[in-house]
Amino acid sequence: MKSRLRVFTFGNPSIDWMVMDTTGNKVALSQFVNHTEHFANEMDFVAKLGVVSGYQLPETGYMDHQGSQTFVNNGQDWVGHLFGTQYSLRQSHYRNGQQSKLLGCAGGAPMN
């Protein structure tokens, strides 16, 4: 199942993306899935509590493993937390220098 499981979060309020493995060590949740992407509006109050405040810190687990990426939209018009109306689905609105697998599916393209 790991080879097919992909996780996408929008405005994640979690302060970290860590879990305990079977030996009791804290590891990034992305180790247990194929691919993880986090999307956040920089001015989203809920996202500021979690992913926006810590995605660059290695101890949070958001970006410390291959297959985990965080995309932050710092546009002035994108400040809310509602997925349907206040989160953009355009790749150009997010900064990180990487291509999103999810946003690459726009228009019905298959996910690689």
| 62-88 pLDDT, tens digit each | 875 667 888 999 888 888 888 878 888
pTM comes to 0.86
Q: What is the DSSP letter of 95?
A: B
Which tens digit of pLDDT belongs to each residue from 87-101?
A: 888 888 887 767 888
Give residue 64's pLDDT.
58
CA pseudo-torsion sign 44, 49, 53, 58: negative
